[in-house]
Chains A and B, each alone.
Chain A
Amino acid sequence: MSRAAGTEQDAATPTLRPVRLPRRWLFGSLAVLVAAVLLGLTVGPAGLPLRGVVTEIVNLVPGIDLAGGLDDREAAVLWQLRAPRVVLGLLVGAMLALAGAGYQGVFRNPLADPYLLGVAAGAGLGATFAIVSGGNRLLVPLAAFTGGVLGVAATYALGRSVGGRSTNSLILAGVAVAAFLTSVQTYVNQRNSDSLREVYGWILGRLLTAGWDEVLAVLPYIAVSAVVILAHRRLLDVLSVGPDEAGTLGVPAARVRLTVVLAATLGTAAAVSVSGLIGFVGIVVPHIVRMLAGSSYRVVLPLAAAVGATFLVVADLVARTVVSPGELPVGVVTAFVGAPFFTLVLRSARRTW
């Protein structure tokens, strides 16, 4: 098209390549994910042979029935213990990373995540009430879910009332809401010290008791939430110029923001309600992806889902092997890795945000 492009100028007139997910990163991250899943399925107190595990998985395909699978006891360990735990780790890790990236996109702030917006604190308080009330343990996820939604709603309302649509006022409102909810939760715990251990076990996060019931319970919420967030990947890129400019480009910024926040909160609350509070995935994973593969949300969102899933499966693997035969809460592992990383994010974030 450019007539000025002479032969010696070809290097200066590159073909136009709009941003898209680089194949090498897509396939690379999927390969690592598969490796992490196989590791998660085979390693544990009862080690399973890799070959047998792969055979069992291949045999899931209808019409295929290879020999060389696991014996009955091993198959039970694989399908009743390991697989639901690994699948739940995949779902929760992918969801937390997607939600974190989504929050960061709408609030244009790399520190935005479920923890800073009051979602996690609300979920924690909801779970605490459910546990200390001594009712049916199956109500804990529901209570956590309700608390998470109320937490982000309180943050949103407070942020709007003090600072209009500004991002900083929202984040600060989240800090205030989280501090308040946490203090209420501490008070409730002090009054009910007999259930303290159980509450903290939940708060620190565990995939220990995960079964297929939990997987099925959260799958619809996480699926809807992930699809909504991923579908907004280009609009999140448009929002990176700010709500006013996005508005002149034809994007109703407030509506996009609300949609993504609701989806991310729904997914987070669902994830947290079965896994407990698992910190830093939402900050660390999107940031790693940005450093490696670029900052367009068309790249960050799908890769963050894959890397987040990998991260949590590996973290859970560490949590159940490092003090074997005991187990650490997986939230301890993610925080141990995530907290130092968080300071790196702060250092590099100062530049542009």
Chain B
Amino acid sequence: MTALTADRVGVTLLERRVVDDVSLTVPAGTWVTLVGPNGAGKSTLLRAVSGAVEHAGTIAFDGVEVARLRSRERARLVAVVPQDPARPDGMTVLDYVLLGRTPYVPYLGTESAEDLAVAGELLDTLELRSLSGRLVTELSGGEFQRAVLARALAQQAPVLLLDEPTSSLDLGHAQQVLELVDELRASRGLTVVSALHDLTTAGQFADHLVLLVGGRVVAQGSAQEVLTEELIREHYGARVRVVTDPQGGVVVVPLRSRPARGQEGVA
């Protein structure tokens, strides 16, 4: 079953072609990660999928075209964890998570008991219940990222888009969030499309990698196929060593062209 297809998708922002002729197929229940240098169009492609920017070509969920959906219907199909989510003033964690129920709340209505139950269950899943009455402006980066994830999951959408979900997190919290997403994907059958900067992490958490450069797909496939020293040198202009991890993953190690100063003296 195919959850998401993009066919010859293009996005033009300020007369610049930011995404150009991208075609992708994401099978249901898989995790696809977009990688690429800065300005490659990763975020813009995700924004096109979520309906935030207009696009040429077609993007469809289970055969239903995004552009034809009303925003409420779309929000029930695809949930987004934005790159830099706003922290609204004076809003509690519970109310923030309940924002995710908006596509189910009548246009001028208010949340039902069921909405509250969904939010409560997610607060437990993401270990946020003890923080439910705290203001989102008071949370640490890791706590807030979990709240954002809870809000997205409250939409109960089969497709989850993550735009650099770990950019503001340290190594430990980043790992926690990604593993949580992976567990939820397995337990709830979610289809995940993410944009990630860190290539090693991208290789570990994705079934399928798509390398975008200048808005175009230049390579896609497994981590072994996409994360090669040649492709990374060519498209990132970076010297790296790609090491195969004993457990089968791929580790991308950036290399300095000269040894660091003083390093000779340190045994």
Contact = CB atoms under 8 A, between A and B. Distances in A.
Contacts of A2: 124, 129
A17 B100 contact: no
Nearest to A244: B52
B58 interface: no
B116 A16 contact: yes
Contacts of B92: 19
Interface string B59-90: 00000000000111111101110100110111
Contacts of B123: 16
A294 B95 CA distance: 13
Contact of A249 (B89, B103, B129): B103
Interface in A291-338: 294-296, 298
A238 B124 contact: no
A237 interface: yes
A294 B75 CA distance: 28
Nearest to A295: B90
Contacts of A352: 89, 137
Given A1-B121, A18-B116, A250 B110 contact: no
B219 interface: no
Interface string B109-135: 111000010011101100001101100
Interface string B27-71: 000000000000000000001001110000000000000000011
A166 interface: no
Contact of A296 (B50, B76, B95): B95
B94 A17 contact: yes
A146 B220 CA distance: 60
B260 interface: no
A20 B103 CA distance: 20
A106 to B, nearest CB: 14
B82 A240 contact: no
B124 to A, nearest CB: 5
Contacts of A244: 47, 52, 82
Contacts of B124: 1-2
Contacts of B137: 352
A67 to B, nearest CB: 46
Given A248-B52, A248-B80, A16 B119 contact: yes
B91 interface: yes
Contact of A250 (B94, B103, B119, B129): B103
Nearest to B78: A248
B interface residue count range (under 10 / 10 to 19 / 20 to 34 / 35 or more): 35 or more
A290 interface: yes
Q: Which of A240, A241, A252 counts the most B-chain CB atoms under 10 A from its CB?
A: A241
A296 B111 CA distance: 14
B155 interface: yes
B86 A18 contact: no
A13 interface: yes
Contacts of A251: 71, 102
A250 B71 contact: yes
Interface in A8-37: 9, 12-14, 16-19
A263 to B, nearest CB: 12
B218 to A, nearest CB: 28
Interface in B210-260: none
A245 B86 contact: yes
A139 interface: no
**A19, A242, A298 interface centre (most CB from chain B within 10 Å):** A19
Contacts of B47: 244
Contacts of B180: none
B154 to A, nearest CB: 10
A298 B105 CA distance: 15
Contacts of B110: 234, 298
19 contacts: A12-B129, A13-B130, A14-B132, A18-B94, A18-B111, A231-B108, A232-B108, A234-B110, A235-B107, A237-B88, A237-B91, A244-B47, A245-B86, A248-B51, A250-B74, A290-B90, A294-B90, A295-B90, A352-B89
Interface of B: 47, 50-52, 70-76, 78-80, 82, 85-86, 88-92, 94-95, 98-100, 102-103, 105, 107-111, 116, 119-121, 123-124, 129-130, 132-133, 137, 155
